[in-house]
Structure 1
Amino acid sequence: MCGICGFVYLHGASSSTGDRSVLEQMADSLHHRGPDETGHMVRDGVALANTRLAIIDVADGHQPVHNEDGSVHVVFNGEIYNQGALRADLAGRGHRFSSQADTEVLAHLYEEEGVDFLHQLNGMFAIALWDERGRRLLLARDRLGIKPLFYTEHEGRLFFASEIKALLAVPGMGVEADPAAVDQYLALRYSSGSSTLLKGVHKLLPGQRLVVDLAAGTWTAENYWEPWKSNAARPTQSLDEAVGRVRELLDDAVRLRLMSDVPFGAFLSGGLDSSGIVALMAQHMDEPVETFSIRFSEEPRLDEGAHAQLVSRHCGTRHHEVDCTADRVELLPRLLSHFDEPFADPIIVPTHQVAASAREHVKVILTGEGADELFGGYTRFVNDAQIRRLARLPGFVRSALGALARRVPSAEPLQRALVLADQPASRRALTWIEAFDDGERRSLSVHQPAIADGAERLYADCALDAPGSHPLEQLLFCELRLRLPDCMLTRTDRMTMAVSLEGRTPFLDHRLVEEALWMPHRFKVNGRSEKDVLKRALAPLLPPQIPQRKKQGLAVPFALWTRHGVESSIRRVLSPQSVRRRGLFHPSYVASLLDRWGPHAARHSQLIWSLLCLELWFRMYVDTGADRLDPSTPLSEVS
């Protein structure tokens, strides 16, 4: 795992004397991603740098890596799990290797296959490759978006980096918030798609490559992985066949991800996904698996520790626990600084804590991300089936139910369900997870032109690409292509990399993903049972209580955190004077949210948290001089 960065002159200019200094400043900002070593290359109009977290070939895996004649240069963040097979094949074709690092495989594979070498990779990656002969720079991101890559154009150069902070380290790089992206953030609590909160800064999308062809004077981004657009016939599959195939592919994915020259372990919540990963790891390892869990002693109803302990005993792991208490929220400014954008998922707090605990023992961690998106693990997928049944009622019946619901305060869930019933699947996919809805954003925002339908269009366009027409297939596809990379994987990457810990995600092996994409939806959500096929695949490996458990998921004692210790600071940060000075929102609307904030107003707490994270981001990244907030400031000391 590493951080990468660099730039290329777009109009054929040669390197200048200040280029190395710029590159070093960019790389220095990524030190946390790779504290073991830094490598640079500046030559002939291109600059590449890498900060390395040594996992494979610790002694000799230096970057940038070059081919035999020095015409292909690569920096790389991630792991290629099938590098052994690729290396053997390339050696058979006459290629010579100077290390065991997977980065070197990429340079030689490019020589053989050109930009299409990406199709042969099984792994997670962000790659920058300079072809000196062809005068071509290739940037590429893995199929599922496990590893990040950002880029921007500035003063005739294309800059790229694993994190936005490296782009902001470039002298003269301006910082301006994009109003449309702010509106999207208010809807989702994070930025999604190719946009970021900063004007001119873009994300390379999952499964996308960007090719800068200096000889032709062009640069284009294109998708290299779109299996859902394949028209190939899929054989009819029985449930038993699907169960066997899922178990086989997941087992091999875990086996491949145990490749490491340093200690590794797993996050264990006691839920189905992480428990299944740990059980498969235990089958492949001679030593006990190192497992790490979060406890919530202040809020026992959210605590899954007993279930994690049950799995630990069953699998014979060496188990470690950390207690996430309310005082951890003091770290919020520092945690947000690792995202370089506002990110209002409070789960970053326990994720960072358990990652820091794990880093004291291991350097690589396996996680359960992706299972819910592939196999329908969220309760909303079951609820959506109920909504679809409601939608089939005659219109006059729904109208009568709506009139009744509006007169009965306790019937608010029915009223919400009736609204959902009139929406297409893509809009429901957004509604299920939306923070501020359209009406709330219009009431909140001062600048109405900034209100856009960006999030809604993003989800509508995504649903059109779904591999099937069934609403559940569309919901799952939107989760896989949008929320998974932009929320879940972003959260895991930034919080593990903050402590120099590599995270690996077996469920996102592209072979398993492709299998799940074309699997009948009834194998995933069956009646009121989520992840049916996965439960059946993992049940033989686990204590019977685990597959039978109702999904809980990692949650935080949100109201407790925000009402104790830092409440006065939050009210200061979102005071009418502060809101008026920022100029984005109506102070009276924010004040009304704060007035309704209480221990039983969970949704208001989440909306306030979103506004808090946004304001902290503005203070850390957009404000200047004395107004700029130092990320190391405890939340209770922010005024």
Structure 2
Amino acid sequence: MCGFAGKLSWTRDPAAGSVQKMSEHLRHRGPDDVGLVEMEHLALGHRRLSIIDLSPNAKQPMTSADGRFVLVYNGEVYNFIELRQELRRLGVNFRSSSDTEVVLYAYIFWGSQCLKRFNGMFALAIWDSREKELFLARDRFGKKPLYYYHHRDGVTFASELTALLADEEIPRRVSLEAINCYLSLGYILAPMTIYQDIYKLESATCLTISQAHRTPSKARYWNYADYFRVKSAEKEETIADNILTLLEQATERRLISDVPVGAFLSGGLDSSSVVSLMKRHHPETLHTFSVGFEEETYNELPDADRAAAWINTSHHSLMCRGGKDGRLIDEAIAAYDEPFADNSLIPMVAVSRLAANYVKVVLSGDGADEIFAGYLTYKADKYYSYARYLPDFVKRFMTSMGESQQKAHGKLNWAYKQKQFFYGTLHDPDEAHYLWRLIFNPEERLGILGSQYRDLVYDSDPFHIFQRYYQEVKDLKGLDRHLYVDAMTWLPDDILVKVDRATMASSIEARCPFLDVELVEYAASVPANLKLKGLRPKYILKRALQNVLPQFILDKAKSGFNAPTGAWLGRVGVDEFKAFNQYVFLKKVPEWLN
């Protein structure tokens, strides 16, 4: 895991000083080493977090033996050993044992098609000095970030937005469209960022720009939708066995490391399955980490402790008191480079800080809910098929009844869920699924932004992006459609952003076995009724794990990873609340906007 930055200029000398400054803003992503190269047209900077091959031979930027190609790369390609053997047969003499060198020569021999061979997480930039061509790419689900700004004279790019903005030539114009998206969803959908003309490269996408073709050309190299279209005809038992085999292989791949590996453990199905499978291949001391809260409805420490005892790990936990720990809030805010309202970022930052005391790599259970239909929203989609036939006046009445009930300080109460659900039933199935997670509806956003922004609020409604993805799977039905769209939106732009920024803030690498490409592609082929069987979420995954995990984990109700921010604010007195508002709006907001 690392961070990189670069600046391409066709008419001026490369701005090595600017790239060095950008690289400094990525120190947390790579505290072990720093590299900078300056060439005709291009300067590249790299910050290294040494995980595989700790020697200087794996240093970046990495140049090919003939000097033609230069690579900067962030992530891990887990099948690099197999690819190395194939490349050796093609005549490559490797100078290191790193996956970085494998990535470089895979591109040299196979061009952009190499991306289809990679099983891992990555963002990369490769410069071809002979063709004067820059190639950028991001992994299938966007686990590793990549931002870029295209200008008349070239392109500037970096692993984080804060690093990109260290280049003083890049304008900072806040995007009202992005603000509209943020107020709708709590995160900003790719390719947008909070700034106009600065973009995130989308997941499973590569971008090419050359001296001959100075307008960037983008292409998607992997289409998740294709794997939903051919359904497995295997028996349920065979499917369950195959899922377990693939998950175990995915977990084993992610144990490859030259530094200590641990895991996040909440005591739920997803993280417990990963840790149990790790233990099979990691019989020595295995460090696991969890975070809890004083608020009982949010606190999963007892579940994590019980799971850790059953699996036999060296378990470490902490109590997150975000309402009393201003430093933690500041750290959480600093870890994210644009507006982000998923409050689980706070405990994620805290548990990452804890893990960094023991390991450099952690495995997590992220991705299982999106792949195997674990969220309550998928149940809501099933209820929708019945509730949609209610008269509209009943739906509106039930929505207003939910609005009239004050949201509790515990996790989302029934009244709030009622409001979201019946508001969704007033719309078509695709929009209803989008609305389950909506924060502010258009009229509420107008109340925040002002009526002068009516056209913007409606014309740039983020559902338009969701519609585009739904259109890509118009031949699919029901759950498969929603799983695909969530994997193109919610997963890369909320869940994986949270995981990457929180762990990298503490200079540790997170790996997600459930997002292994072989497992994901196979899971897409599993019939939808085996993922959500009746109203039983993740049915086939639980079936696969029935001989791996004890019944108390298999039967545990899903509990979302959220922070009790409502309770924290609810305990604040009037004077403290005023002080908090002054701190946020007079001190922090100007800092964030600047």
TM-score by length of structure 1 reads 0.86
Distance 1:557 1:437 in 2: 23
Unaligned stretches of 5+ residues in structure 2: 406-413
CA contact (8 A) 1:333 1:616 kept: no
Match of 1:15 among 13, 18, 23: 13
Q: 1:38 maps to what in 2? A: 34
Cα displacement (A) at 1:235: 4.2
Distance 2:362 2:502 in 1: 12
Please state if 1:47 is matched with 2:43: yes
Q: 1:461 maps to what in 2? A: 468
Distance 2:586 2:203 in 1: 29
Distance 1:424 1:39 in 2: 52
Match of 1:335 among 312, 332, 336: 332
**Residues 222-245 of structure 1: CA deviation (Å, up to 9, x unaligned):** 111114147974442332222112
**Residues 522-543 of structure 1: CA deviation (Å, up to 9, x unaligned):** 1111122111011111121111
Given the superposition, is the C-alpha separation of residues 495 and 569 from structure 1 closer, same or farther in structure 2, using an over 3 Å criterion? Answer: farther
Q: SS where residue 53 of structure 2 aligns? A: coil
Q: SS where residue 222 of structure 1 aligns? A: strand
**Residues 471-526 of structure 1: CA deviation (Å, up to 9, x unaligned):** 22222222211011111100110010001010001000111111122221111111
Match of 2:128 among 126, 131, 144: 131
**Residues 198-229 of structure 1: CA deviation (Å, up to 9, x unaligned):** 11110000000000122333421111111414
- 1:421 counterpart letter in structure 2: T
Q: SS where residue 247 of structure 2 aligns? A: helix
Given the superposition, is the C-alpha separation of residues 186 and 247 from structure 1 closer, same or farther in structure 2, using an over 3 Å criterion? Answer: same
Cα displacement (A) at 1:322: 0.8
Distance 1:121 1:132 in 2: 24
Q: 2:314 maps to what in 1? A: 318
Cα displacement (A) at 1:109: 1.0
Cα displacement (A) at 1:64: 0.9
Q: 1:182 maps to what in 2? A: 179
Please state if 1:197 is matched with 2:202: no
Report 1:413-452 matches (<5 A): 417-446=421-450, 447-448=452-453, 449-452=455-458
Cα displacement (A) at 1:465: 2.2
Given the superposition, is the C-alpha separation of residues 432 and 416 from structure 1 closer, same or farther in structure 2, using an over 3 Å criterion? Answer: closer
Given the superposition, is the C-alpha separation of residues 407 and 465 from structure 1 closer, same or farther in structure 2, using an over 3 Å criterion? Answer: closer
Unaligned stretches of 5+ residues in structure 1: 579-611, 624-639
Cα displacement (A) at 1:86: 0.6
Distance 1:404 1:533 in 2: 34
CA contact (8 A) 2:207 2:219 kept: yes
Distance 1:122 1:45 in 2: 32
Q: 1:530 maps to what in 2? A: 537
Q: 2:528 maps to what in 1? A: 521
Please state if 1:100 is matched with 2:77: no
Q: SS where residue 476 of structure 1 aligns? A: helix
- 2:552 counterpart letter in structure 1: Q
Given the superposition, is the C-alpha separation of residues 573 and 246 from structure 1 closer, same or farther in structure 2, using an over 3 Å criterion? Answer: same
Cα displacement (A) at 1:265: 0.2
Identity of paired residues, percent?
A: 32
How many aligned positions are there? 579
Q: 1:470 maps to what in 2? A: 477
Q: 2:5 maps to what in 1? A: 5
Cα displacement (A) at 1:618: 4.4
Report 1:30-429 matches (<5 A): 30-60=26-56, 61-154=58-151, 156-229=153-226, 233-296=230-293, 298-325=294-321, 326-392=323-389, 395=391, 399=393, 417-429=421-433
Q: SS where residue 437 of structure 2 aligns? A: coil
Q: CA RMSD in A?
A: 2.3
Cα displacement (A) at 1:458: 1.2
Q: SS where residue 77 of structure 1 aligns? A: strand
Cα displacement (A) at 1:300: 1.8
- 1:26 counterpart letter in structure 2: M
Q: SS where residue 546 of structure 2 aligns? A: helix
Q: SS where residue 545 of structure 2 aligns? A: helix
**Residues 530-588 of structure 1: CA deviation (Å, up to 9, x unaligned):** 1101111112111111111111121222222223459756645757xx9xxxxxxxxxx
Q: SS where residue 241 of structure 2 aligns? A: helix
Match of 1:485 among 489, 492, 498: 492
CA contact (8 A) 1:188 1:433 kept: yes
- 1:562 counterpart letter in structure 2: L
CA contact (8 A) 1:376 1:476 kept: yes
Given the superposition, is the C-alpha separation of residues 570 and 173 from structure 1 closer, same or farther in structure 2, using an over 3 Å criterion? Answer: farther
CA contact (8 A) 1:336 1:617 kept: no
CA contact (8 A) 1:26 1:170 kept: yes
Cα displacement (A) at 1:68: 1.6
Distance 1:281 1:401 in 2: 47
Distance 2:174 2:24 in 1: 24
Distance 1:375 1:231 in 2: 12
CA contact (8 A) 1:229 1:467 kept: no
Distance 2:23 2:374 in 1: 39
Q: 2:509 maps to what in 1? A: 502
Q: SS where residue 540 of structure 1 aligns? A: coil
CA contact (8 A) 1:269 1:308 kept: yes
Distance 1:616 1:434 in 2: 29
Q: 1:585 maps to what in 2? A: none
CA contact (8 A) 1:467 1:517 kept: no
Distance 1:131 1:401 in 2: 59
Distance 2:250 2:280 in 1: 13
Q: SS where residue 74 of structure 1 aligns? A: strand
CA contact (8 A) 1:467 1:473 kept: no
Q: SS where residue 454 of structure 1 aligns? A: coil
Cα displacement (A) at 1:295: 1.8
Cα displacement (A) at 1:20: 1.5
Distance 2:399 2:463 in 1: 26
- 2:160 counterpart letter in structure 1: E
Distance 1:462 1:221 in 2: 17
- 2:489 counterpart letter in structure 1: L
Match of 1:27 among 23, 30, 49: 23
CA contact (8 A) 1:402 1:415 kept: no
Q: Which moved more, 1:235-244 or 1:476-485?
A: 235-244
CA contact (8 A) 2:421 2:436 kept: no
Q: SS where residue 136 of structure 2 aligns? A: strand
Given the superposition, is the C-alpha separation of residues 617 and 103 from structure 1 closer, same or farther in structure 2, using an over 3 Å criterion? Answer: farther
Distance 1:222 1:30 in 2: 27
Cα displacement (A) at 1:153: 2.2
Cα displacement (A) at 1:384: 2.2
**Residues 152-208 of structure 1: CA deviation (Å, up to 9, x unaligned):** 024623000000111111123221211111111100111112001111110000000
Given the superposition, is the C-alpha separation of residues 242 and 617 from structure 1 closer, same or farther in structure 2, using an over 3 Å criterion? Answer: farther
Q: 1:599 maps to what in 2? A: none
Q: Which moved more, 1:490-499 or 1:420-429?
A: 420-429
CA contact (8 A) 2:6 2:45 kept: yes
Given the superposition, is the C-alpha separation of residues 25 and 349 from structure 1 closer, same or farther in structure 2, using an over 3 Å criterion? Answer: same
Cα displacement (A) at 1:328: 3.0
Please state if 1:620 is matched with 2:591: yes
